């Protein structure tokens, strides 16, 4: 039940061009490599059971990819259907610049997911979902100052805020935080503040619905095997005006490491990300400092 929030920022008001914050919710005993170099030019965490990734960036092309699972009872059990791991969606797109994002929807039998691919150089991006019959590709709203939040319901779902109040909560809290901290006088404090948004105090009224919180506390889901589930890591990504990416990961599992890496984002051509002609959205002009 992961959650991702991101926004392109006004470099005239903030030292950063782009930021992303994310929580990864998973079983604590699932084998995973922490943040690092997972393939040539690709940085992220790696799931060792399926060899995929849910959040990573290609430093050479400047393409960032993320994925969230969609919980659904409409499909049969993935073990029975022998489905392809959803972690391959992000890794395949980041490692193959000639791959059309639409091909993802027809290649492989995946359980329901949302995936986003962001062109950090040209401030553009696409979102795809394969939920039931709603298999489509849309442009992400990468207008400066727009905060996007993605969780475990399909993109462009009109009932997102009603069914998943954590989406609205994280969007509002990130917006409020940026309004007060855009100038970033202290980078460490700024990053700490972003991590605090990912681990807010739990609403007492929602303690019986732990999976619907931004930060999922440790819960025992499998009573037979006594497996623990919850938010096992948080990630903050910041891209500055000089195209230097800072990625910070905090792990909450026993003996988990806190990792920070920095690297330069390279240049890319606009056609690398998008192989089809998607219509440009009609953006409304919104500047971050007047949101």
Its pTM surpasses 0.75: yes
pLDDT value of position 210: 67
pLDDT value of position 112: 85
279 pLDDT higher than 90: no
192 pLDDT higher than 50: yes
Specify the DSSP class assigned to residue 271.
G
Which is nearest to 217 in space by CA: 175, 225, 204? 204
- Domains of the chain in start order, with CATH, are 3-274 (3.60.60.10)
Rounded distance, CA 233 to CA 251, Å?
Answer: 4
* Average pLDDT over the chain, rounded to an integer: 80
Q: 65, 83 in Cβ contact below 8 A? A: no
pLDDT digits (tens, 9 = 90+) for 139-161: 888 999 999 999 888 776 544 44
pLDDT digits (tens, 9 = 90+) for 5-63: 999 999 889 999 999 999 999 999 999 999 999 999 999 999 888 888 999 999 999 99
Label the pairing between strands 42-47 and 258-264. unpaired
Structure tokens at 39: 């393939």
Structure tokens at 83: 């489905």
Q: 55, 24 in Cβ contact below 8 A? A: yes
Structure tokens at 32: 């995973």
Residue holding tokens 């100052």?
145
Q: 39, 51 in Cβ contact below 8 A? A: no
With the CA atoms of 179, 185, 189 and 192 taken in that order, what torsion angle do they form, in degrees rounded to the nearest 10? 40
Rounded distance, CA 199 to CA 233, Å?
Answer: 10
More confident residue, 190 or 284: 190
Q: Report in angstroms the alpha-carbon separations of 32 from 4, 40, 58, 174, 225.
A: 19, 18, 19, 28, 19
Rounded distance, CA 25 to CA 40, Å?
Answer: 26
Rg of the chain over CA atoms, in angstroms?
18
243 pLDDT higher than 50: yes
81 pLDDT higher than 80: no
């Amino acid at each position: 039940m992961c959650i991702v929030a991101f926004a392109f920022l006004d470099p005239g008001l903030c030292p950063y061009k782009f930021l992303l914050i994310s929580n990864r919710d998973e079983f604590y005993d699932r084998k995973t490599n922490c943040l690092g170099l997972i393939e040539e030019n690709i940085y992220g965490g790696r799931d060792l059971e399926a060899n995929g990734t849910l959040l990573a960036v290609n430093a050479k092309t400047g393409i960032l990819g993320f994925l969230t699972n969609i919980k659904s009872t409409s499909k049969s059990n993935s073990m029975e259907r022998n489905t392809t791991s959803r972690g391959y969606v992000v890794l395949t797109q980041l490692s193959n610049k000639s791959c059309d994002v639409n091909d993802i929807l027809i290649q492989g039998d995946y359980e329901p997911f949302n995936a986003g691919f962001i062109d950090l150089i040209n401030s553009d991006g696409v979102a795809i979902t394969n939920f039931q019959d709603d298999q489509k590709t849309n442009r992400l709203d990468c207008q400066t100052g727009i905060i996007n939040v993605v969780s475990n319901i399909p993109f462009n779902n009109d009932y997102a805020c009603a069914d998943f109040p954590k989406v609205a909560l994280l969007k509002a809290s990130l917006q409020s935080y940026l309004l007060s901290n855009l100038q970033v006088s202290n980078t460490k404090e700024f990053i700490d503040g972003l991590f605090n948004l990912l681990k807010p105090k739990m609403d007492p009224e929602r303690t019986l619905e732990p999976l619907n919180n931004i930060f999922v506390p440790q819960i025992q889901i499998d009573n037979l095997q006594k497996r623990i589930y919850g938010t096992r890591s948080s990630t903050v990504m910041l891209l500055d005006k000089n195209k230097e990416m800072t990625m910070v990961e905090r792990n909450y599992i026993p003996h988990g490491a806190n990792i920070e890496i920095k690297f330069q984002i390279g240049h890319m051509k606009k056609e690398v990300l998008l192989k089809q002609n998607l219509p440009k959205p009609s953006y409304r002009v919104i500047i971050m400092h007047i949101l």
